[in-house]
Structure formats: C-alpha cells, structure tokens
Structure 1
Amino acid sequence: MSDLRAESRVIDGGPVVARVVVRGGGSIGARHARVFGQLGADVALWPVRPRPASSTSSGPGVHTPAHSSGPGVHTLDDSAGPAALAAADLVVVATDTGRHVADAVAALDAGAARVLLEKPAAPSRAAAEPLADHPRAGDVWIAAPLRAHEAFRHLLTHLPEIGRPLFAHVRCQSWLPDWRPDRDYRQSYSARPDEGGVLRDLVHELDYAEVLLGRPTLLGARLEHTGPLDMEAEQAATLLWHTDVATVTCRLDYVTRPTTRGVTLHGPHGSLEWDLTTATVTRRDADGAATTEAFPVDLDRDTVMATQAHAALELTPGADRAQRHTAGAPATLTEGLATLELCDQARTIS
C-alpha cells in the first residue's frame, strides 16, 4: 500500500498527515478506518452506536473474520465528533442507508473537505435530493470499490477490441445467509424493505455496467419478493436495458448457490468475461480461442479498498473521467444518483 503522507500538505517544512473521520462503527466503517490507517492517515472512528464483534461481510458469498479498526485509529464520542468533521480532509459515511444523506450533509456543512459516502447514496433518488441540491454536492464521492479492481480496469481498456454492437450479461448471485454466518440474515439491513433488497445492496453491478457501456434506458424489470428467504425486501431482480452501444441483461439475487458474479460481453470480434470470484478476465477471439489473465490482488479486499481510498484523497470528484478510472477512484455523486434512478425505475415498472 502506498502512503497517503506522500501527497499531504506541507507546513513549516514538515508533512501533515491526511485527516479522515469515519462516521459509523459497523463492519464496513471499521474496515474503512483500518485501511486509511494502514495508508498513513490520521483516522478517527465516530460510531453511531456500540457494535458487538462479529464477522464482516465481504460481499456476495464471501465473509472474513472481524478485524479491529487497527493501530493509529482513535474513537470519538458525540461530544468530539462535530469538531472532527470540520477539520477532516475526508469524511467516510458508513452509517445505515436511511441516514446516509443526513450524515453526508452534516459533514459538508461542518466544513469537511470531501465526503466518501457508502452505497447506495440513499434509499431512493427522491430521498437523495437534499444532498443533490447541496451547494457542495461536487465534493461527494460514492463508494464503488469494483472500479478499483485491476481486472475491471483491464476490462475497460480492452473492451474496444471486441467491437460493437455489444450484448452483455451482468450477474451477482449468491446465498444471503452465507454473507454473515454468525448473524441471522433477517436482522440485517439487506432484509429491510426500506433500506435493503438486491437493487440497493448490489448497486455496484449497475454502477460498473454504466462505466463500461454507458447510460442505460430501462426496457423491463422483474422483482421477486417471494422465494426461499424469509424477508420483505426483494430477493431477486432481473433487468433488461439498452445503451448507445449495447443491450444488457442483469440478474441480481440473494438465492443462488454457488456464488456467481461477473459480466460477459459479446461483440462481433469476440468476447470478454470478468469473473469476480476468481479475479480473472477471459478473452475469446472470433474463432473461440481463449486467453485468461489473473488478477490475484483483487481477492484481497483491503488492497482494493486502499486503491479506492488513495484515489478519494488524491483526486477530486471533478477530476477528468479517464484519470478517475485509471486511479480506481469512487463514483461521483452524479453517477451514484444515476444508479438510484435506474433502481427506482425498476421498482416502478416491475
């Protein structure tokens, strides 16, 4: 991991370490705090409420043991938190989805230089309006760690080689109870109809598909609320959309074993497949000959999040699009809101 102090401010000839406040002390907040701390930042963790130790979810079908927030990370209480926001170079908002907007607005109003908001930005596009209309909305990142995968950046670079028009199938299918084996999935945010469900939980797939293929026009959607899981939020969603360059099908669900996650893209000159479970990209030419490249670093979630973290501090959301993609930067607020609009449309027409 590179050190954030390399690009820190310099005062009186000495470096000043980047100041990061992580709002929310759950598993994802603790991971953000640890990763920024490992990069050399001065990290303050400001929990919303005490959290018991548990396993942490690494996403669909993957779980890892719980970790502490790490050395160099100090914890704030509510008396010290507001002042820390004002002095922060970056505030990471990793609270419950229903309070994302309020916590992001509070950080901006306090004077934080930038905000990195966990996905999704809000439960719906309408709920995000106070943040979208904020005079400092341009200082907000939306977490999108799949963009920081080396395999994804490889895919983005080589996509033109298979030609156009394209057909793509995006998939993220797993078994929700496996995400956090020591916790009843019915008690998780994923099962809540107002904060969870696959459209909100797996919105990263919609984000990277838009980066690869352009802004979608939704043609059809089917959401499934019934199935093997005892929960109110949707257990599965199947979407169909088109862009200027592609027709896309997308399957998101909590009800599949074994896990499958990735995208397959077909064009007149061959195909590309990104398999997230194996961290590989396979290229097939027009005759079917296959070449596979592996990106094992993508299997280390902390390394991927460190790439995103570094970019979130080094760049601004207004940086050039190509520069952001090369660095593995998060999504901009505008991009994050676009995926919320797609989710809202899917709920409307399903």
Structure 2
Amino acid sequence: MVADVFLVIGAGSIGQRHARNLAALDQKVDLIPYRDFDADAVAKRTDVAGVIIATATPIRLSLIALCAAQDWPFYVEKPLGWTKDQIADIYAAAAPVADRSMVGFMMRYHPTVRALAQLDLSDIYSFAFEIGHDVRQWRQNWSFAQSYASDAEGGGVLLDLCHELDIAHCLFPAAAIASATSLDHPVFAGVDFATRISLAAPLGTVAMDYLSPVSLRKGQLRGTGQIIDLDLLAPAFTRDVGAGPQTTAFDFDRNDMFLAVMADFIAIATGQSPSDNPLMPRLSAVRASCDLIAEAWQARQFTGQVDVAF
C-alpha cells in the first residue's frame, strides 16, 4: 500500500484547520478525534505519510513515541511541553524522525517576522513584544473552564500564546529568561491569565494576556541606529534609521501561514525540497526555543490575581 495519507489526530479547531489545509494542498487526509484514537489500530496502518498531532499538550509524548517507532514524520502543535524535562523526553523519543518533523511555530511564516529576520538587528539593545485577547471571545460555543487552557498543568496564557517568545528567540537567539511575573484567577489558581517575561542580552520583554478587550499583537525594537515598530495584525512595520519613518505593509491572510507551514511539512515528510524559509521550524532545529518556553513557564512568579467573570 502506498504511504500517502496524512493522519490528523485531534479534531478541535486547529486539527480541523490542518485537515482542511492538507486537503487544499491535494493530500489525502484522515481526521481522527482523540477520543476515537486507537494506538494499536493506527500502528498497523501502512498508508501513513505523516502525522499531525493537534491534541492537548500533556498527551503528545505517547503520540510522538508512536510516530518515531513507525518511522512516521510528524507535525506537532506548540508548545512541546512546559518543563525542560518534558522537552528532553520528547526529543529523546523523537530522535529517529526529528529531522523530518516540525513544531507548529507557524508565526515563523508571518511576512513581518520573515522581513525582520532579514534585517541587521545587531544594534538592538531593547525589544518588546505583546499579544492580548479576551479569552472569552475566542470562539463560539467554547468554554474556557472546560478547555485545556484552564488547566494549571499545560494551560495558561504563556503556553497558549507562546509564539511571541519564539519570535523573540528567532530574532535574538542569545536572549535568556531573566524572570516571569504572572497573574492568575480566584477560580483558576496557578493558571496565568497575564504574564510578562523579562529577557536579557538584549534587554527584552514578552507580554501575553487573556484579558485585552481589543485584540493586539505588537512589538517595538530599539537600536543605536534604528527604531522599529510593528503590528502583526495589520500587518506592517515602521522603521526609522534617522532619515524619517518608512512603513512596509503586507498583503496577508492568517491562513496563509498555516498553508505555508503545512506545505513545508508535506515536503520534508515525503522527501521533497521545502521552501527557502530560513526560519522553518524543523524539530531538529527548534530545541532552544522549546527550552526557552519551558524555562519561562518554570520561572513564573504569581504576584496577584485578576477577577473577570466567566
């Protein structure tokens, strides 16, 4: 039997998006809700070209181990885990297929991020990234209290919206966690609703929250020879090197990133050449970013609470 089917394990909103995009990219797709997943039955399949793991974070290790045992490349949603020990276990299990697998850092395909990565940022001494959105407005017929996000182990805003921390790592690979300060909720103890991470070398902050009544996704970079302000929702960035601000805007649809990252996964899973994106999140290349996210989560210090009604 020809190995030409991509399994999507997890039929939530992100799993459904990946299944639609695979079909749009002319791939055969089998979408399997995790509640219907039978590891023994799946392991007997001989038609699998690759696996997309779109389940809750705590149950991904066993799925990754299954893929590695079957020599199946996989695409796994971020974050890989929330402790460095978990990350180490996953990388050990995934070693046989790590170079043909990917982590879902799809913001590496955002045109603004790609443009910034091509600039000389060696003079930047300070940066800040911020993302905020009222978690109660995310999706229709969705309950925060009944979701993965409300779980103290594997939930919370730092893990949920960790793309900005990955972006910071892409642009400033030497940046290290200095501290992380969080607010939780009277009903959801230990679940961060707002977190501010401080980094060093260069000085930086990454802030994320479940609270902003207006969705925002912005950043600022300050250097000795340039200043840059960006809006990832617009999307555009404005750069001034001393001769006046110059704005670069992009024609962009959010799903473009998902399509592009999935096209690259199809390519590396089937032995073809991927795109020329130097930020492509091949599993074998993103260990440092995954560790950085885990280090930030483990560094959280809860300093207060926010009381919003659910």
Q: If the TM-score is normalised by the length of the shorter chain, which range does it land in?
A: 0.7 to 0.9
Structure 2: distance between partners of 1:329 and 1:212: 14
The aligned residue for residue 248 of structure 2 is 293
The letter for the 2-side match of 1:236 is: A
Structure 1: distance between partners of 2:171 and 2:71: 34
One of 126, 146, 157 as aligned partner of 2:118:
157
1:160-214 CA-to-partner distances (Å, cap 9, x unmatched) read 1x65142100111111101124222222211111121111111111111100011
Cα shift at 1:154: 1.0
The letter for the 2-side match of 1:219 is: A
Superposed, which structure 2 residues align to 1:251-330 within 5 Å? 251-287=207-243, 289-297=244-252, 300-315=253-268, 323-325=276-278, 328-329=280-281
Superposed, which structure 2 residues align to 1:35-114 within 5 Å? 35-49=21-35, 80-84=41-45, 87-112=47-72, 114=73
Superposed, which structure 2 residues align to 1:107-122 within 5 Å? 107-112=67-72, 114-122=73-81
Say whether the 8 Å CA contact 2:165–2:293 is kept in structure 1.
Answer: no
Cα shift at 1:87: 3.9
> Aligned in 2, Cα 1:348/1:108: closer, same or farther, shift over 3 Å?
farther
TM-score (normalizing by structure 1): 0.76
Say whether the 8 Å CA contact 2:237–2:248 is kept in structure 1.
Answer: yes
Structure 2: distance between partners of 1:19 and 1:265: 43
The letter for the 2-side match of 1:290 is: P
Cα shift at 1:249: 1.1
Structure 2: tracts of 5 or more residues without a match: 270-274, 304-310
Say whether the 8 Å CA contact 1:175–1:256 is kept in structure 2.
Answer: yes
* SS of equivalent to 2:261: helix
1:221-275 CA-to-partner distances (Å, cap 9, x unmatched) read 2111137xx43311111111113xx210121111112121122111112222221
Structure 2: distance between partners of 1:94 and 1:242: 32
Say whether the 8 Å CA contact 2:183–2:302 is kept in structure 1.
Answer: no
> Aligned in 2, Cα 1:264/1:315: closer, same or farther, shift over 3 Å?
farther
Structure 2: distance between partners of 1:17 and 1:276: 38
Determine whether 1:168 maps to 2:127.
yes
* SS of equivalent to 1:185: coil
Structure 1: distance between partners of 2:70 and 2:124: 47
**Structural RMSD (CA):** 2.8
Structure 1: distance between partners of 2:250 and 2:139: 26
The aligned residue for residue 146 of structure 1 is 107
Structure 2: distance between partners of 1:42 and 1:115: 15
- Percent of aligned pairs with the same amino acid: 23
Structure 2: distance between partners of 1:101 and 1:77: 15
TM-score (normalizing by structure 2): 0.85
Cα shift at 1:342: 2.4
> Aligned in 2, Cα 1:236/1:137: closer, same or farther, shift over 3 Å?
farther
The letter for the 2-side match of 1:82 is: A
> Aligned in 2, Cα 1:152/1:272: closer, same or farther, shift over 3 Å?
same
The letter for the 2-side match of 1:342 is: E
Say whether the 8 Å CA contact 1:92–1:115 is kept in structure 2.
Answer: yes
Say whether the 8 Å CA contact 1:17–1:41 is kept in structure 2.
Answer: no
The aligned residue for residue 338 of structure 1 is 291
Structure 1: tracts of 5 or more residues without a match: 1-15, 51-75, 317-321
Structure 1: distance between partners of 2:43 and 2:178: 45
Structure 2: distance between partners of 1:334 and 1:77: 29
* SS of equivalent to 1:120: coil
